[in-house]
Structure 1
Amino acid sequence: MGIYTITYPPAPYPALVQPDWGSIEPGSPRYPGLIPYPTFVQQAPDLLLFDNFHRRDDVVVSLNVLACDWSRFEVRTSVQGPFVAPPPFRPEGTNMETAGKVIKCKAAVAWEPGKPLSIEEVEVAPPKAHEVRIKLFATGVCHTDAYTLSGSDPEGLFPVILGHEGAGTVESVGEGVTSFKPGDTVIPLYVPQCGECKFCKNPKTNLCQKIRVTQGQGLLPDKTSRFTCKGKQIFHFMGTSTFSEYTVVADISLAKVNEKAPLDKVCLLGCGISTGYGAALNTAKVEPGSTCAVFGLGAVGLAAIMGCKVAGATRIIGIDINPEKFEKAKEFGATEFVNPKDQSKPIQEVLVEMTDGGVDYSFECIGNVQIMRAALEACHKGWGQSVIIGVAGAGQEISTRPFQLVTGRVWKGTAFGGWKSVESVPKLVEDYMNKKLKVDEFVTHTLPFDQINEGFELMHSGKSIRTVLTFGSA
């Protein structure tokens, strides 16, 4: 076992010398900075874990280090003054020492329905074949989490780790995983995309069924859980469970995204924003010049408004019983508003009168079966479409007069906005990075993870659009 030498290259590359090797580049959770490209990389590859090469004048001069056994290096530099070798670098999310081992970390456990979440220390087992373990940096609080926590979800299982809007980095991968490596920036997906099942091969749907059965059972594809707490098995949620510092997901339930993306923002593309935005673009396929109505002006409703605007709708009517939401909805593209409490007629009749016969497209973003009916009946005879986005409580049913459908109206639903997840989420992140998609504007509160129950209270009170919880610096 020899000592390997790093010798800095001479000018014209003095900028490669960095006095603080433990520093992290702005916007990146894992790179300690550049080191010169050494010839020993080929001789002793086991000593370094790195990814990107950096070139100058088409010559490799440095690389980004993820982890390194510094105890076996001797550092030489022509820079004046002493040089102190850095300590072992073990960035969060790429720690080689944790691979293959159980990780103990903080998580919010829902022990039973209707009770606040409990911050606990949980054990997260290593990923098995075709699984990925992720270090999460941020997660959003969504109404779907509250829906399951309330006990209304027919698939709700307890105890469980909820959460499905997250972003982080890959900590380790299981056998057979080829699309991800430690350090990759990723967003977990509650709608997977295997690319092999008949659903994935059909362009009409995004509802991959490869792991649907086990996901609904709160388990990973091998029918077991990776979470334990106080000696008890803890169920997974929607295949993601982002209310934990570490989680394990199937490799088909994960999207690799731009490493420069702010994780406390793009985590929201794991559900709400993508769902409402895609409902307008993919499910309804809103056309230029259309008139649209959006029922419910929470995060999903605002995203639907944004999608309608991008599609070219000229009238976008926002409907909500809380008028304080109207001003924010204007920022996303709403052109006018109706508060049903201010009307003497049913809301569908009001909209039909406002729009000379009804809207071209309506979107129900609440999960109320009576409003679902109103949204359909607000559509124009002959061509109006109503899209159900909100999730109603267990056992509830929708109804309308058959004549509403016989006369040309269309009633349809959507999940995750119709996006084929693995291929679409990275593109949505790029649209955000290129300022083509609003995301920051949805975040009204950012809290440390320990305050997760406060995040739920903000949502229930209508004071937040989206609360983002952070586990640490991203």
Structure 2
Amino acid sequence: MDSSSTPQVITCKAAVAWGAGEALVMEEVEVSPPQSLEIRIKVVSTSLCRSDLSAWQSHAIFPRIFGHEASGIVESVGLGVTEFKEGDHVLTVFIGECMSCRPCKSGKSNVCQVLGLERKGLMHSDQTTRFSVKGKPVYHYCAVSSFSEYTVVHSGCAVKVSPHVPLEKICLLSCGVAAGLGAAWNVADVSKGSTVVIFGLGTVGLSVAQGAKLRGASRIIGVDNNPKKCENAKAFGVTEVVDPNSYIEPIAQVIKSITDGGADFSFECVGDTDMITTALQSCCDGWGLTVTLGVPKVKPEMSAHYGLFLTGRTLKGTLFGGWKPKSDLPSLVEKYMNKEIHIDDYITHNLPFDEINKAFNLMKEGKCLRCVIHMPR
């Protein structure tokens, strides 16, 4: 494409969700040109995250194109974009970094006021959609919508990477793996010799385990009732696994019993507000810290006895592990390339784009960690 030409509408294949829990349908979609401060990306690889599954199963906005863990190549840029050019390799991110709002400049938060969580299925810049099928608008998801051969994102929701980085691997850093590592490092600041308990041994929980192991935690206890997940947990740093179904007493009491009063750090990676209370109860008095990473599908409100906090426990929430995407993701990519962190082992399945419904079924059945979906070249 001539860099001086004006980008035109692209027609391509996308997996469109028309209703809650309905199989995705391969549709011919029209993808509008990028507007001011936007870029259009040819998606190379994208992985399925549990939040995609949860939103698909709920009564969310439809029709919609899901997907947010992705890597690709810039196809065209909109007016005002100076950071990217055609041909650049990029990671997409579901929260952006405008670099100029109060949180972005504070150094205290990664929740950008301008490019924070997208909740309405529309572009940040003008509250419209860039997708349509036969003239009918199709909505975005998490500011990315990577289950499409081409997508449009705000330039603040993409991170440039070296062309030597394997795009089919690092797409996992767009969400799950980065979120888990950041929760252990940035949010909890796990200390050497500490005891850690992790509720939920999916990709996020096992990434917390990797982060805790690299920080020198002495015990990393994984809690999950899926035997398939428990089998491989030790390969990611988990030192022991607890199945709640094997005990009569509440699992929080079990954890307190085997840790002499509770863990130093507990992480809720399930997306269950009752589990947040259990995680709080499982960490110790005085300095016990609980970090919640999961996004609940139902019952968003939580309750906990005030005494848990009166005795010194702390509860913290985190989005994307506290990472500022543009500022921090390049260093994570570098750590991967230097073999300081592991990503490949989280990929349990690789599927072509036209088998995307199989990926959803594998995750529904608890048979995968991350399934990477490869787009046609």
Count of residues paired in the alignment:
376
- How far residue 263 of structure 1 moved from its aligned partner, in angstroms, is 1.1
Residue in 2 aligned with 1:272?
176
1:18-167 matched pairs, under 5 angstroms: 100-151=7-58, 156-167=60-71
Deviates more, 1:425-434 or 1:204-213: 204-213
- How far residue 99 of structure 1 moved from its aligned partner, in angstroms, is 5.2
Instruction: Please tell me whether residue 250 in structure 1 is matched to residue 157 in structure 2.
Output: no
User: Is contact 1:258–1:429 with CA below 8 Å preserved after alignment?
Assistant: no
Residue in 2 aligned with 1:320?
224
- The 1:177–1:227 alpha-carbon spacing in structure 2 relative to 1, beyond 3 Å, is same
CA distance in 1, matches of 2:21, 2:231: 33
Residue in 2 aligned with 1:85?
none
CA distance in 2, matches of 1:467, 1:425: 21
CA distance in 2, matches of 1:456, 1:210: 31
Instruction: Please tell me whether residue 340 in structure 1 is matched to residue 340 in structure 2.
Output: no
Instruction: Please tell me whether residue 217 in structure 1 is matched to residue 123 in structure 2.
Output: no
Q: Look up the equivalent residue of 2:93 and give its one-letter code.
A: L
- The 1:189–1:411 alpha-carbon spacing in structure 2 relative to 1, beyond 3 Å, is same
Q: Structure 1 stretches of 5 or more lacking a match?
A: 1-93
Residue in 1 aligned with 2:336?
432
Give the superposed CA RMSD. Answer: 1.4
CA distance in 1, matches of 2:38, 2:105: 22
- How far residue 294 of structure 1 moved from its aligned partner, in angstroms, is 0.5
Q: Look up the equivalent residue of 1:438 and give its one-letter code.
A: H
- How far residue 332 of structure 1 moved from its aligned partner, in angstroms, is 1.0
Cα shift readout 1:263-285 (whole Å, capped 9, x = no counterpart): 11111110110111111111111
Instruction: Please tell me whether residue 465 in structure 1 is matched to residue 372 in structure 2.
Output: no
Instruction: Please tell me whether residue 402 in structure 1 is matched to residue 309 in structure 2.
Output: no
User: Is contact 2:228–2:367 with CA below 8 Å preserved after alignment?
Assistant: no
CA distance in 1, matches of 2:182, 2:244: 26
CA distance in 1, matches of 2:2, 2:201: 42
User: Is contact 1:258–1:430 with CA below 8 Å preserved after alignment?
Assistant: no
CA distance in 2, matches of 1:202, 1:98: 39
CA distance in 2, matches of 1:212, 1:306: 27
Cα shift readout 1:293-335 (whole Å, capped 9, x = no counterpart): 0111111111010011111111000111122322321111111
Residue in 2 aligned with 1:418?
322
Which of 75, 79, 85 is residue 171 of structure 1 equivalent to?
75
Instruction: Name the structure, 1 or 2, with higher relative contact order (CA <8 Å, separation 6+).
Output: 2
- How far residue 177 of structure 1 moved from its aligned partner, in angstroms, is 0.3
Relative to the length of structure 2, the TM-score reads 0.97
Residue in 2 aligned with 1:311?
215
Residue in 2 aligned with 1:263?
167
Residue in 2 aligned with 1:238?
142
CA distance in 1, matches of 2:121, 2:330: 26
Q: Look up the equivalent residue of 2:29 and give its one-letter code.
A: V
- How far residue 111 of structure 1 moved from its aligned partner, in angstroms, is 1.2
Instruction: Please tell me whether residue 194 in structure 1 is matched to residue 95 in structure 2.
Output: no
CA distance in 1, matches of 2:262, 2:227: 22
Which is higher, the Rg of structure 1 or of structure 2? 1
Which structure 1 residue ranges, 4+ long, deviate > 4 Å from structure 2?
A: 94-99
Q: Structure 2 stretches of 5 or more lacking a match?
A: none
CA distance in 2, matches of 1:161, 1:250: 16
- How far residue 96 of structure 1 moved from its aligned partner, in angstroms, is 5.6
- The 1:449–1:96 alpha-carbon spacing in structure 2 relative to 1, beyond 3 Å, is farther
Residue in 2 aligned with 1:291?
195
Instruction: Please tell me whether residue 205 in structure 1 is matched to residue 109 in structure 2.
Output: yes
SS of alignment partner, residue 184 of structure 2: helix
Relative to the length of structure 1, the TM-score reads 0.77
SS of alignment partner, residue 366 of structure 1: coil
User: Is contact 1:145–1:162 with CA below 8 Å preserved after alignment?
Assistant: yes
CA distance in 1, matches of 2:240, 2:6: 54
User: Is contact 2:44–2:168 with CA below 8 Å preserved after alignment?
Assistant: yes
- How far residue 98 of structure 1 moved from its aligned partner, in angstroms, is 8.2
Which of 265, 271, 281 is residue 367 of structure 1 equivalent to?
271
- The 1:165–1:99 alpha-carbon spacing in structure 2 relative to 1, beyond 3 Å, is farther
User: Is contact 1:99–1:171 with CA below 8 Å preserved after alignment?
Assistant: no
